[in-house]
């Protein structure tokens, strides 16, 4: 799942890459950054691991697990900039303007309905 995050050094997905990128923006005194509008589901790896351990302890095997809610890449970047009180302007652009190796949908969000129905959903928003 592309939305997983949780390790600065090893995180090769969006949040990890962006965290390292924003560090470079600060070093270079760059005050503006573009971010796309594609919708996804950021999921913290520690939450995923915790929920997976619960499922294993219950003898469960196949589930979709993701944090609740959804956010665009722009939303996440803006929240990071706001949280750290950075003086960087985030410009929202269409994801269609990005050249990516793999074609991705405009929205990628999973449901935890099976987890929820069995009262095993430990994920947060």
Residues 62-117 have pLDDT tens digits of 888 999 999 999 999 999 999 999 999 999 999 887 777 777 788 889 899 999 99
Residue pair 58/120 in contact (Cβ under 8 Å)? The answer is yes
Length of the chain: 125
- Say if 99 falls within a structural domain: yes
Q: Is residue 125 part of a domain?
A: no
Tens of pLDDT along 45-55?
A: 899 999 999 99
Residue numbers of the domain that contains 48: 4-117
Residue 44 lies in a domain: yes
Residue 15 CB coordination number (10 Å):
20
Q: Rg (Cα) of the chain, in Å, rounded?
A: 16
Q: Is residue 53, in this structure, part of any structural domain at all?
A: yes
Residue ranges in 5-89 assigned as alpha helix (H): 14-27, 45-57, 73-83
The token duo for 3 is: 């939305």
Number of independent structural domains in the chain: 1
* CATH number of residue 83's parent domain: 3.40.50.720
């Amino acid at each position: 799942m592309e939305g997983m995050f949780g390790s600065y050094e090893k995180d090769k997905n969006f949040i990890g890459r962006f965290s390292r990128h924003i560090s470079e923006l600060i070093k270079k005194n760059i005050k503006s950054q573009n971010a796309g509008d594609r919708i996804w589901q950021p999921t913290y790896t520690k939450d995923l691991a915790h929920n997976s351990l619960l499922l294993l302890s219950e003898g469960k095997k196949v589930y979709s697990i993701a944090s609740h809610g959804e956010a665009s890449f722009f939303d996440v970047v803006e929240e990071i900039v706001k949280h750290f009180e950075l003086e960087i302007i985030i410009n929202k652009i269409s994801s269609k303007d990005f050249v990516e190796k793999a074609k991705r949908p405009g929205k990628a969000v999973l449901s935890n309905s099976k987890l929820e129905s069995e009262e095993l959903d430990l994920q947060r928003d």
